[in-house]
């Protein structure tokens, strides 16, 4: 079993005319790598009718519906995070309820509101009640504000994670841009924060640093936008880890934090 905890899909109301090809390419590459389950999110309209990181309620609902349909089309192979914009509290809570009831297994928070903001608290309380993890988009060491997103870094996620110790948080894409060396020591002593290994970065020394910082039981394998980098990390992990440890990173840690029955044979 191999679980990609950080996948994305596109749909017909995004800027991408090739959305079908990209979705098919992800699934095809996943077959070659041996990915059993893609745990995915869709960030609204990916910028077509509202900004990618500040998606409108309507765009989120359409995207979440598309992902639910994808789950139904690929049972056992695609599972969903419900993506919400915390600036719309009531709508977010309602959307979380709706999508988890329909079979999604986690909550995705992108970069609509800083992770340490109190507006995230009701969402995290909802995650605790439903016993689902929260995947928080992270810019590793955000030194300034970047246009188009209110990104958070590990410091801000740590504040949130301390306020909600019962919720498992995924620190998104450690290889996805920014200074990962800055993030790792911040979360070292926070057992409810796990490191998602996805991202296009395949830096030498990064996986060793992740292991040293949080240990093998808090690492989760994933790809994000580049499946080949995920596969490269998996191949290198085979060199670093025992088979039992590799299973932890490849799926057992994920099975531990997602709801029971989220994955086939789980």
Q: Are 182 and 214 in contact (CB under 8 A)?
A: no
If you count them, how many residues does the chain have?
266
Which among 86-94, 139-147, 214-222, 241-249 is the span making contact with another protein, rule CB under 8 A? 139-147
Give the residue, chosen from 83, 140, 152, 198, that forms a contact with another protein under the rule CB under 8 A. Answer: 140
- Taking the C-alpha atoms of residue 236 and residue 230, their distance in angstroms, rounded to an integer, is 10
- The Cα 137–Cα 177 span in angstroms is 11
Q: Least distance from C-beta 140 to another protein, angstroms?
A: 7
Contact range with another protein by CB under 8 A, out of 154-162, 220-228, 241-249, 256-264: 220-228
Which DSSP symbol is given to 178?
B
Residue of 189, 228, 242, 264 that binds another protein (CB under 8 A): 228
Nearest to 63 by CA among 109, 12, 6: 12
Nearer to another protein, 138 or 255 (CB): 138
Q: Which is nearer to another protein, 131 or 182 (CB)?
A: 182
Among 20, 28, 74, 162, interactor with another protein by CB under 8 A: 28
Binds another protein (CB under 8 A): choice among 116, 179, 245, 266? 179
Beta bridge partners of 221: none
**CA proximity to 187, closest of 220, 226, 143:** 220
Q: Which of 133, 201, 222, 250 binds another protein (CB under 8 A)?
A: 201
| Structure-token pair, residue 23 | 């979705």
Interface residues for another protein in 61-120 (CB under 8 A)? none
CB nearer another protein, residue 128 or residue 225: 225
Under the criterion CB under 8 A, does residue 208 sit at the interface with another protein? Answer: yes
Strand partners, 136: 109, 171
Asked if residues 37 and 69 have their Cβ atoms less than 8 Å apart, the reply is no
**Under a CB-based contact definition with an 8 Å cutoff, are residues 189 and 154 in contact?**
no
**Residues engaged in binding another protein (CB under 8 A):** 21-23, 25-26, 28-29, 32-33, 139-141, 143, 177-181, 200-205, 207-208, 225-229, 231-233, 235-236, 239
């Amino acid at each position: 079993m191999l679980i990609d905890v950080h996948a994305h899909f596109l749909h017909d109301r995004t800027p991408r005319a090739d959305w079908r090809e990209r979705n098919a390419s992800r699934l095809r590459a996943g077959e070659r790598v041996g990915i059993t389950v893609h745990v995915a999110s869709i960030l609204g309209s990916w910028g077509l009718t509202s900004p990618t990181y500040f998606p409108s309620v309507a765009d989120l609902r359409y995207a979440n519906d598309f992902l639910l349909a994808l789950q139904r089309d690929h049972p056992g192979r695609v599972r969903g995070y419900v993506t919400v914009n915390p600036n719309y509290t009531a709508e977010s809570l309602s959307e979380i309820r709706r999508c988890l009831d329909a079979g999604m297994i986690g909550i995705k928070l992108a970069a609509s509101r800083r992770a340490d903001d109190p507006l995230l608290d009701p969402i995290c309380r909802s995650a605790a009640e439903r016993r689902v993890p929260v995947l928080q988009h992270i810019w590793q060491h955000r030194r300034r504000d970047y246009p188009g997103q209110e990104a958070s870094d590990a410091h801000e996620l740590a504040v949130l994670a301390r306020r909600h110790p019962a919720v498992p948080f995924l620190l998104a894409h450690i290889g996805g841009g920014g200074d990962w060396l800055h993030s790792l020591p911040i979360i070292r002593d926070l057992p409810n924060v796990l490191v998602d290994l996805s991202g296009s970065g395949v830096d030498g020394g990064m996986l060793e640093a992740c292991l040293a910082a949080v240990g093998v039981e808090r690492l989760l394998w994933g790809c994000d936008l580049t499946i080949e980098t995920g596969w490269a990390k998996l191949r290198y992990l085979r060199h670093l880890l025992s088979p039992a440890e590799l299973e932890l990173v490849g799926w057992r840690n994920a099975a531990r934090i997602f709801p029971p029955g989220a994955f086939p044979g789980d």
